[in-house]
């Protein structure tokens, strides 16, 4: 992977800023999460969990542990060394493209059953609720924690390692929890899962021609954004050649992957006027693509 190239002077967020936002987004409830007790059960598979980040820096997880496993049998008063893995995949149909992943080593403590409702009631997250759906990242945790056989736990870890489009970065969990961070609690800076899907569909609706023009313009420093990576297309199925895949979308930018015959390039297109709502993406990116397409045809 080549180092990300940032276009100067475009108003696009820097690499560190984007990585921090992505790390917070994953810890706050995005993606698919698993937890494994790597010391108690080194060969055991991770168990899927619902998760959310509390403003105090704890990661709340709800899990239905498999009976008889070391994790399920651990007493409430025991701290368990765990690894929390969160993977965010693209919603591209028929193909799996991982947008980012986050990994935390920490200590898990079960919440006693008589304290579950109190902990859920007193918890708050740095991610804003969706103004339309009212969705709260804690909602999924609460729903699972209240089902028969499920349990609530608190995971405390000091650092998260993020694998994102721009490479690998490290962040302190307490810095992502929102204390003193105005952006973390600003309306419009967090999308619900449904809004993320809407945004992906909005970007796809522009079509491969417009999306390729956006990719090429970012690489040529003619549009705001950055080149995240480039690698040979060897081994890529022929049906993907010359397609543009929508890897990810958030209120600040869209990550696109152009699969060329010889080279696959991943770019971040910064959204003018960000943060945006999903409904604003099509007109904003469409207008930008309309400006770029004539020049792309002349060059091509």
Please tell me the predicted confidence (pLDDT) of residue 43.
Answer: 86
pLDDT beyond 70 at 31:
yes
C-beta of residue 248 within 8 angstroms of C-beta of residue 99 = yes
Q: What is the mean pLDDT of residues 92-97?
A: 87
Please tell me the predicted confidence (pLDDT) of residue 298.
Answer: 58
C-beta of residue 254 within 8 angstroms of C-beta of residue 269 = yes
pLDDT band at 181 (very low <50, low <70, confident <90, very high): low
d(CA 208, CA 257): 11
pLDDT band at 32 (very low <50, low <70, confident <90, very high): very high
C-beta of residue 152 within 8 angstroms of C-beta of residue 60 = yes
Q: What is the mean pLDDT of residues 17-30?
A: 92
**Dihedrals phi, psi of 159, to nearest 5 degrees:** -140, 145
Say yes or no: domain 5-190 is CATH 3.40.50.700.
Answer: no
Q: What is the mean pLDDT of residues 269-295?
A: 89
| Cα distances (Å, whole numbers) of residue 52 to 116, 137, 167, 276, 290 | 15, 6, 24, 23, 40
For the chain, the domains span 5-190, 197-299
pLDDT beyond 90 at 127:
no
Please tell me the predicted confidence (pLDDT) of residue 16.
Answer: 87
What architecture is domain 197-299? Alpha-Beta Barrel (3.20)
DSSP 298: H
| Cα distances (Å, whole numbers) of residue 37 to 45, 152, 155, 210 | 9, 15, 12, 46
pLDDT band at 287 (very low <50, low <70, confident <90, very high): very high
Please tell me the predicted confidence (pLDDT) of residue 3.
Answer: 42
pLDDT band at 180 (very low <50, low <70, confident <90, very high): very low
**Dihedrals phi, psi of 72, to nearest 5 degrees:** -70, -30
Please tell me the predicted confidence (pLDDT) of residue 299.
Answer: 52
**Dihedrals phi, psi of 169, to nearest 5 degrees:** -140, 160
Count the Cβ atoms, other than its own, within 10 Å of residue 271: 23
pLDDT single digits (tens) 233-256:
988 889 999 999 999 999 999 999
d(CA 53, CA 73): 25
Please tell me the predicted confidence (pLDDT) of residue 9.
Answer: 39
Tokens of 162: 């993020």
d(CA 112, CA 76): 6
Tokens of 44: 């055991």
Count the Cβ atoms, other than its own, within 10 Å of residue 250: 24
Q: What is the pTM of this model?
A: 0.87
pLDDT beyond 90 at 44:
no
Q: Which of 95, 138, 96, 137 is nearest to 117 (CA)?
A: 138
Q: Is 252 exposed, middle or buried (0-12, 13-18, 19+ CB in 10 A)?
A: middle
């Amino acid at each position: 992977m080549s180092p990300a190239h940032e276009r100067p002077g475009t108003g696009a967020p820097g690499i560190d800023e984007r990585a921090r936002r992505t790390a917070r987004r994953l810890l706050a409830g995005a993606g698919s999460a698993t937890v494994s007790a790597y010391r108690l059960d080194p060969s055991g598979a991770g168990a899927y969990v619902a998760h959310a980040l509390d403003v105090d820096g704890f990661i709340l997880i709800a899990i239905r542990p498999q009976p008889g496993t070391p994790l399920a049998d651990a007493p409430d008063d025991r701290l368990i060394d765990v690894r929390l893995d969160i993977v965010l995949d693209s919603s591209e149909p028929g193909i799996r493209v991982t947008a980012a992943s986050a990994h935390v080593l920490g200590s898990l403590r079960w919440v006693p059953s008589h304290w579950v409702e109190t902990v859920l009631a007193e918890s708050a997250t740095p991610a804003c609720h969706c103004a339309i759906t009212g969705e709260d990242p804690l909602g999924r945790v609460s729903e699972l924690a209240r089902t028969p056989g499920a349990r609530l736990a608190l995971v405390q870890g000091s650092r998260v390692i993020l694998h994102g489009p721009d490479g690998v970065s490290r962040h302190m969990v307490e810095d992502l929890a929102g204390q003193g961070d105005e952006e973390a609690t600003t309306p419009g800076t967090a999308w619900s899962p449904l809004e993320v899907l809407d945004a992906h569909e909005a970007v796809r609706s522009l079509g491969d021609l417009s999306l390729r023009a956006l990719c090429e313009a970012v690489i040529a420093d003619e549009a705001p954004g950055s080149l995240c990576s480039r690698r040979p297309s060897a081994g890529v199925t022929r049906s993907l050649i010359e397609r543009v895949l929508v890897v990810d979308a958030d209120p600040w930018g869209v990550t696109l992957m152009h699969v060329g015959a010889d080279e696959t390039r991943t770019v971040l297109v910064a959204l003018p006027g960000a943060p945006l709502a999903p409904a604003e993406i099509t007109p904003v990116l469409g207008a930008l693509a309309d400006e770029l397409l004539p020049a792309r045809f002349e060059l091509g």
